[in-house]
Amino acid sequence: MMVFMRKAWLPIVSIWVLVAVGAVIVVLTMNDGDAIRGFGVLAAGAIALVSLVHLVTSHTEGIVERLIFVAGGAYAILALAGVYVLLKP
């Protein structure tokens, strides 16, 4: 499993980067109330994207770990963006 997880980090980190870029775009283009809703869309999109990657590659091994890592990272990124939105003047 460890060899598989080493290969799985590239799509996981790629999705995290997409979530971070999406969060920056949402913060810069939307007002505060809409930004929080946009973060929910980004979180759902991250989970859907990792599921789509799983479907396309058809690897059954490690999908739960990938879902957990993607969801956890996306939620952490969006939590930081949410704190920024809530605390900015």
Confidence of residue 88 (pLDDT cuts 50, 70, 90): confident
Q: Looking at residue 84, what is its pLDDT?
A: 94
pLDDT at 64: 85
Write down the pLDDT at residue 14. 92
**What pTM value is reported for the model?**
0.85
Domains of the chain, residue spans: 2-87
- What's the whole-number mean pLDDT along residues 60-64? 79
Higher-confidence residue: 5 or 25? 25
Q: Is the pLDDT of residue 2 over 70?
A: no
Q: What are the distances in angstroms from CA 18 to CA 43, 65, 79, 89?
A: 11, 19, 15, 26
- What are the tens digits of pLDDT across the range 17-58? 999 999 999 999 999 889 989 999 999 999 999 888 888 877
Do 72 and 14 form a contact (C-beta atoms < 8 A)?
A: no
